[in-house]
Amino acid sequence: MTEIIERQIIDHLTFLYGTERAPHLWERLSALLADFVRRHPELRENVPPPAERLTERDVILITYGDQVTESGKPPLRALAEVLEKHVQVAITGIHILPFFPYSSDDGFSVIDYTRVNPDLGDWADIERLGHTFRLMFDAVINHISRQSSWFQAFLAGDPEFAKSFIVVEPGTNLSQVVRPRALPLLTAVQTVSGEKLVWTTFSTDQIDLNYADPDVLLRVIEVLLLYVEKGAELIRLDAIAYLWKKLGTSCIHLEETHRVVKLFRAVLDIVAPGVMLITETNVPHKENISYFGNGRDEAQLVYQFPLPPLVLHTLVTGDATRLSAWAAELALPSDQTPFYNFLASHDGIGVRPVEGILTPEEVQVLVDRTLAHGGYVSCKTNADGSESVYELNISYFDALSDPQGGEAQGVQARRFMVSQAIMLALQGMPAIYVHSLFGSRNYREGVAQTGRYRSINREKFRRADLEAALADPASLRHQVFYPYLQLLRARAAHPAFHPNGPQRVLNLHPAVFAVLRTAPDGSEALLCLHNVTNTEVAISPEQRGVLRDIVTGATFHLPDGGGTLTLAPYQVLWLSVD
């Protein structure tokens, strides 16, 4: 198997850098990999088969390293203590958002890929989390901070870094380049040899790396191996769609970019086959799932980006028709490539992924609701110079319920929980943003402090305040957190929720999202019902007999001759089927 993978790596290197350079690059890379294997042979031992590396028990919590603060403790240590105390009964993995020294963008402009930000803690704190949870690290490798030693060496004329960044001549036609932001693509910088224009996809502080220089590729592979050495079982490839640039093209989803991801996969398959890659590509669904490759040679997971706006649309309209039609068409290329299901993250709710699924008018309803509920919208620049909305910046809870609407808190909490239950019921591995797990609302004060819309759902917790709220049955955090734990515990106990377990979407009523999940070995089936409205709904499922809700233990008897099942407003039923 290793020989086959080695040939794949050589093929990728040849495609990227040509037949003359590929043999020497493989010689350098193979030496790097051989040294890693010598130091860490344990990473190739006792690795489960690909289809079993994730199970129904796996759930990821997305959080910042300084999400929880407590006087006298490094934030990573305070975070570990809170998670060990409150969530390890239901959460198996932690995605620690970039915890490296950084200069902007809340961590996504990395100064040094190899160090833990001393304001958060150290590698020992990361490793402590790894003793209890599976860890996901961010590889923010499309760009690097202008304060990094790599870019400073480039500015100083260091020949080792002379080609590490993309320099563009003034007047170059860049009209075909897809822009994810409404900001200039090029940034003028002063070097020892004069002013130069460098490529900056996301901001003037985030300088894009030049993967046409093979030395950049090899340096980044060293970084990925360090992350594996430090305990990463999943590596998130941030903004990976923009990795390779070629003038005269869109510079998004290029074949070279796919080859780099496949090369990363092949490298890890040799040295640490249990480590999985996940690609972050906030784009329309067909483009997004292209990063699965053939199901065995590229990313093991991709974000399910249409899900957040689709579920929001479903609860806003009280109609699950669009969500059901979309979910019914989902297909995986292999049993090794689960979807990464989520509804909220440190970013906003992307709307590009529902292009062709929702109409522009339906998207505008979500935009208007976001603004009416105290949120913001972010825009991108189109090829013709116009701007369009690409992201809704609002807490997912407040996107669903108006914080100033006067509605009973219990109703708002049930509406929110049905949204989360839909996500948990779908085929794939779920990921929960920390502010969803703890029922957070808009943090408009953060936007006022930073001037950045995304700060609206990036509030940090004081440990004492968080734990006091969790202990108070009248608090929103209590009313979200404990029902969430109940759902997660039920889910973990049933193989029908295995990431690769088949699903069949059922059209029982427009107001009900219904999906039948089955264990991969056929040993169990669950009928998952979600009322997306604030009114009772009666349905007649095809399943008959005694059905038991695995969350509450309630039973329902549906005789063979007929009978209906009535769902209360925003009720969730996960029913075992004999």
Alpha helices in 104-174 (DSSP H): 123-132, 149-155
Cβ pair 243, 260 in contact under 8 A = yes
CA–CA dist 130, 96 (Å, integer): 11
CA–CA dist 147, 103 (Å, integer): 7
pLDDT at position 560: 83
Greatest extent of the chain over all pairs of C-alpha atoms, in Å: 85
Could you report the per-residue pLDDT of 391-426, keeping only the tens digit for each?
Answer: 999 999 999 999 999 999 999 999 999 999 999 999
- Hey, what domains does the chain have and what are their CATH numbers? 1-144+214-300 (3.20.20.80), 503-577 (2.60.40.1180)
CA–CA dist 412, 516 (Å, integer): 26
User: 238 an active-site residue?
Assistant: yes
CA–CA dist 142, 30 (Å, integer): 24
Q: What is the DSSP string of 510-533?
A: TTEEEEEEE-TTSS-EEEEEEE-S
Cβ pair 301, 316 in contact under 8 A = no
Half-sphere exposure of 112 (CA within 13 A, CB side): 7
- Phi and psi at 451, nearest 5°, equal 80, 10
Dihedral angle sign, alpha carbons of residues 400, 416, 355, 281 = positive
- 3-class secondary structure for 288-299? HHHHHCCCCCCC
pLDDT at position 1: 59
Q: pTM for this structure?
A: 0.97
Q: What angle do CA 288, 289, 290 make, to 5 degrees?
A: 90
pLDDT at position 578: 73
CA–CA dist 483, 480 (Å, integer): 6
- Phi and psi at 564, nearest 5°, equal -125, 160
CA–CA dist 276, 235 (Å, integer): 6
Q: Which of 325, 322, 324, 330 is nearest to 304 (CA)?
A: 330
pLDDT at position 169: 96
Q: Choosing from 238, 297, 398, 549, which is the catalytic residue? A: 238
Q: How far apart are the first and last CA of the chain?
A: 42
Q: Which pair of structure tokens corresponds to residue 306? A: 């249409």
Residue 172's CB: how many other CB atoms inside 10 A? 11
* Percent of the chain clearing pLDDT 90 (strictly above): 94
CA–CA dist 325, 328 (Å, integer): 5
- Secondary structure class of 549 (helix, strand, coil): strand
Strand 194-199's sheet: what is its strand order?
167-168, 194-199, 186-191
Q: Which of 223, 194, 196, 193 is nearest to 207 (CA)?
A: 196
> Which amino acid is residue 404, in one-letter code?
Q
Q: Which residue has the tokens 């889910």?
A: 491
Give 556's contacts (C-beta < 8 A, 6+ positions apart): 546, 547, 548, 549, 565, 573, 575
Q: Which helix (H) or strand (E) holds 390?
A: strand 387-393
Could you report the per-residue pLDDT of 160-198, keeping only the tens digit for each?
Answer: 999 999 999 999 999 999 988 778 999 999 999 999 999
Please report, in tens digits, the pLDDT of each residue of the chain (578 residues total): 589 999 999 999 999 999 999 999 999 999 999 999 999 999 999 999 999 999 999 999 999 999 999 999 999 999 999 999 999 999 999 999 999 999 999 999 999 999 999 999 999 999 999 999 999 999 999 999 999 999 999 999 999 999 999 999 999 999 999 988 778 999 999 999 999 999 999 999 999 999 999 999 999 999 999 999 999 999 999 999 999 999 999 999 999 999 999 999 999 999 999 999 999 998 988 999 999 999 999 999 999 999 999 999 999 999 999 999 999 999 999 999 999 999 999 999 999 999 999 999 999 999 999 999 999 999 987 877 788 899 999 999 999 999 999 999 999 999 999 999 999 999 999 999 999 999 999 999 999 999 999 999 999 999 999 999 999 999 999 999 999 999 999 999 999 999 999 999 999 999 999 999 999 999 999 999 999 999 999 999 998 889 999 999 999 999 887 779 999 999 999 999 87
Q: Which of 266, 253, 287, 277 is nearest to 337 (CA)?
A: 277
Q: What is the DSSP string of 184-219?
A: -SEEEEEETTEEEEEE-SSBTTEEEB-TTSHHHHHH
Q: Which residue has the tokens 């909490």?
A: 413
> Which amino acid is residue 569, in one-letter code?
P
